[in-house]
Structure formats: structure tokens, C-alpha cells
């Protein structure tokens, strides 16, 4: 039975522990082919991606482990930190995530060690690397986000899980060099870990919180 859109949305979460099980190329091609019909303003379709597995992925991760984060960073995502309300949401997910693993708030070493697992994409068997031309503006960034969400929901339909990883921007130039994409012409946006979730890993089961609907959406004239 095909998964409903509602079930795909409800079951999609950022998975941070994967089974040691490869993802078939034909499945990934099927997902990516369907995702081509994601919304796209003016039909620009700005998204581009490379999906790595096996030796190409390991070689990239070895390079990232050995490298320092690039300076300056590819882009700045810290803007919401100026808002106490938005920063509180970050603290809430951090508390749930580290709490699920039994890592105390003051255990900085353990927290840092877990964060470095981002470089390894939490040992997912496949990783999507997303980038697009530098001349694309904010509307096209939005298009890329809608495409990525479409990909993640289609992965759920196939029984797969994912974790979008803006964290990898720390090694954007290294990543582009590894996959043969020009740093001059393209900006690297994010990675996406892809695989089958480990159903027994606590990190994949902590309760997620969302802002109440009436704090974000207004209905007028109904």
C-alpha cells in the first residue's frame, strides 16, 4: 500500500542513526525523477545535486575529517539567533536530542563528539549534496527548499529516511572540489543523509516539538 502524503509528512524526521544497509540506485533514481516536479517559480528549477555512496563518499568524508572548517563560511544561517523565541526552539530540539542519548547539558566533550558525526552524515549509506548557481536569489533558495522537502517525502514513500545537513557548509569548497563543481559559479547549500533508519536508536525517537498552529497561521474571512 502506498504511503499517504499525510503519513509521509508525519513520519519524516531528521534521522541520525542508520542501518548498515545500502540504498539501491534504481530507488534513488525513481525518487529524484519524481522530485523534478517540485514547485519552481518561473520554472527556473535552480536545484542541482550529486549523490554519493561507497568509495567516493568515504574519500570525501576522510577529507572533511582532516580539514578545518572553511573561513569565511559559505553563507550565514545565524540570523534567527537574535530572536529569543526562535532561539528557544533551537534549545528545545537540542534538549530532546541530547537527552535521548543521555548526554548532559554540561558534557561539552560528548556534545562536540556527536556534532562531528555530521561530517560522516551519521553513517548513512548515501549522501545527497545540493548546490546551485550563485546568481540565484532568495526566491530560488525557496525553490530549492521545496525541492528538498519533495525529495524527503518521496524517500519516505520508498521506506527510506533522511537528514538534511546544512552543517556541511563548513566544508563547502572542499565538497565542490571533490565532486568537480566550480566554487566560482556555484554555492553549496546542504547535504542530505539518506538510508534506512535504525528503529532502536533513541536519537531517532525523541519527541519533536512544533509551534502551535495559531502562532504561525491566521485564517481571515472564513
Instruction: Look up residue 186 and give its DSSP letter.
Output: E
User: Residue 153: which pLDDT band, with cuts at 50, 70 and 90?
Assistant: very high
Backbone angles phi, psi at 220, to 5 degrees: -120, 135
H or E segment at 139?
Answer: helix 138-157
- The CA–CA distances, whole Å, from 208 to 62, 89, 147, 189 equal 32, 10, 23, 24
User: Residue 162: which pLDDT band, with cuts at 50, 70 and 90?
Assistant: very high
Q: What is the mean pLDDT of residues 76-101?
A: 87
User: Residue 77: which pLDDT band, with cuts at 50, 70 and 90?
Assistant: confident
CA 105 to chain centre: 24
Fold exhibited by the domain 5-75+121-205: NADH Oxidase (3.40.109)
pLDDT for 109:
86
CA 32 to chain centre: 15
Task: Quote the CA–CA distance of 39 and 197 in Å, as a whole number.
Answer: 28
Cell numbers 529516511 correspond to what residue?
161
What is the residue-averaged pLDDT of the chain? 95
Name beta bridge partners: 51.
128
Over residues 7-47, the pLDDT tens digits come to 999 999 999 999 999 999 999 999 999 999 999 999 999 99
H or E segment at 81?
Answer: none
Over residues 36-63, the pLDDT tens digits come to 999 999 999 999 999 999 999 999 999 9
Percent of the chain with pLDDT over 70: 100
Q: C-alpha grid cell for residue 101?
A: 542519548
Cell numbers 556527536 correspond to what residue?
114
Q: Could you tell me the pTM of the whole model?
A: 0.95
Instruction: Look up residue 41 and give its DSSP letter.
Output: G
125, 194 Cβ separation under 8 angstroms: yes
pLDDT for 111:
82
Question: Please, what is the angle between helix 54-66 and helix 172-179, to 10°?
Answer: 150
Q: Which of 201, 178, 179, 176 is nearest to 189 (CA)?
A: 176
H or E segment at 163?
Answer: strand 161-165
Amino acid at each position: 500500500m502506498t504511503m499517504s502524503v499525510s503519513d509521509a509528512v508525519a513520519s519524516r524526521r531528521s534521522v541520525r542513526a542508520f542501518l548498515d544497509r545500502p540504498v539501491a540506485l534504481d530507488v534513488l533514481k525513481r525518487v529524484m525523477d519524481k522530485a523534478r516536479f517540485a514547485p519552481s517559480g518561473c520554472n527556473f528549477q535552480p536545484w542541482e545535486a550529486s549523490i554519493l555512496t561507497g568509495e567516493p563518499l568515504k574519500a570525501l568524508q576522510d577529507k572533511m575529517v582532516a580539514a578545518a572548517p572553511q573561513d569565511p563560511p559559505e553563507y550565514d544561517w545565524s540570523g534567527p539567533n537574535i530572536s529569543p523565541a526562535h532561539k528557544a526552539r533551537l534549545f528545545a530540539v537540542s534538549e530532546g536530542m541530547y537527552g535521548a542519548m543521555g548526554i548532559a547539558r554540561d558534557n561539552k566533550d560528548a556534545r562536540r563528539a556527536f556534532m562531528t558525526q555530521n561530517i560522516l552524515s551519521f553513517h548513512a549509506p548515501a549522501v545527497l549534496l545540493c548546490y546551485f548557481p550563485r546568481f540565484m536569489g532568495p526566491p530560488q533558495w525557496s525553490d530549492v527548499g521545496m525541492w528538498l522537502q519533495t525529495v524527503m517525502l518521496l524517500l519516505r514513500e520508498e521506506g527510506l529516511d533522511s537528514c538534511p545537513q546544512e552543517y556541511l557548509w563548513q566544508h563547502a569548497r572542499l565538497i565542490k572540489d571533490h565532486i568537480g563543481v566550480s566554487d566560482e559559479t556555484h554555492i553549496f547549500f546542504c547535504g542530505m543523509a539518506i538510508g534506512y533508519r535504525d528503529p532502536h536508536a533513541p536519537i531517532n525517537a525523541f519527541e519533536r516539538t512544533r509551534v502551535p498552529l495559531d502562532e504561525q497561521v491566521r485564517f481571515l474571512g472564513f
